[in-house]
Every structure is written in C-alpha cells, then in structure tokens.
Amino acid sequence: MAQQYDRDDMLKLGNQLCFPLYAASRLVQRMYHPLLEPHGLTYAQYIVLMVLWEDAPSAVSHIAERTILNTNTITPLLKRLEQQGHITRTRSPQDERVVMIELTDSGRDLHNELGDVPEKLYGSLGSSDEELWALKQQLHRFIEQLQVVVEDE
C-alpha cells in the first residue's frame, strides 16, 4: 500500500488501514452493547464466553490465546464473570500455576439467551452474507500476518 501514495498522503486518515479497522471494531461493539447490556454483559465478557461455550473448562492462558488478549486483561475480566456467577475459577491440582475456568449453569444458560444476537446484529445490515463472509476471511488472513510480525518483536 506504500507505493500508492506520496509521503504526505501516507499520513492521511482516509488512506490508513489501521483506522477503518479501529472504527469498524468500535462501531460493531456499539451495536452489541444494547443486546448484551440487559444480560449484564460487556462486549469483552461476551467474547470470552464464546470461547468457553466451545471449550470449557479452559485454562486462562488458553482463553488469552483464543481471544488474542493478554492474560492480565483476561484475569480481571474473569473475576467479574465469577462475581456475576457465570463461571468458577480454580487452581489446577496438576499444575498449580494454572487457573481453570468452568461455566456454571448460569453461564451455560447465557448461550441460549444470547443465541440470536449475531442474527439480530447482522440482519440489520445492508451487506450480503457473501460480503460479510469475504470480509471475515480477509481479516483472518491479515491477522495471521500481524501475529507473525507482533510475535517477532
């Protein structure tokens, strides 16, 4: 993308890739908020719950890896979910460094209660499924490359 602009244009907001990523992500989160808030959930908690609905129990580090978040972000977030009664946190007897996260009945119930959230969200957009799918696939490829670079630093 560098070759397409002169030096001044390189710093224009409209020519950045970082900015539409940033803006789109926050707009999507704003869309989720009214659907999650009645269940007392934040967007980040919802992301973590999606990992657990697929793969519980899980270690904190596994959740961090799946969500591409630092463990020091995950830990306080999980503590709040625990306080809300949706998960439990226990040290693994096999390796006491590891904290295992399990879903409670309440946490599992949320899976049912929130099952229609994505449909409600994407249903209200003008994009076709094909367009959204294509965007998702491109983002996955992009993330793979970003992860390579970020890990090398």
Binding-site ranges for DNA (CB under 7 A): 22, 26, 29-30, 33, 42-45, 47, 59-61, 64, 69-73, 75-78, 80, 89, 94-99
Of 25 and 134, nearer to DNA (C-beta) is 25
Q: Could you tell me how far CA 4 lies from the centroid of its own chain?
A: 32
Taking CB within 5 to 8 Å according to partner kind, which of its own copies, DNA, none is near residue 98? DNA
Tell me how far apart the alpha carbons of residues 57 and 118 are, in angstroms, rounded to a whole number.
24
Integer angstrom CA distances of residue 13 from 3, 47, 104, 147 = 16, 29, 45, 24
Strand partners, 91: 99
Question: Looking at 24-32, 74-82, 83-91, 94-102, which segment touches its own copies (CB under 8 A)?
Answer: 24-32
30-36, Cβ contacts within 8 angstroms, sequence gap of 24 or more: 31/121, 32/117, 32/121, 35/114, 35/117, 35/120, 35/121, 36/114, 36/117
Partner whose footprint covers residue 132, from its own copies, DNA, none (CB < 5 to 8 Å by kind): its own copies
Q: Judge if the upstream peptide bond of residue 57 is cis by omega within 30 degrees of 0.
A: yes
Which range touches its own copies (CB under 8 A), out of 62-70, 74-82, 84-92, 93-101? 62-70
Residue 149: contacted member of DNA, its own copies, none (CB under 5 to 8 Å, by partner type): its own copies
- Chain residues binding its own copies by CB under 8 A are 1-4, 7, 10-13, 16-32, 34, 47, 50-51, 53-54, 66-69, 111, 114-115, 117-119, 121-127, 129, 131-136, 138-143, 145-150, 153
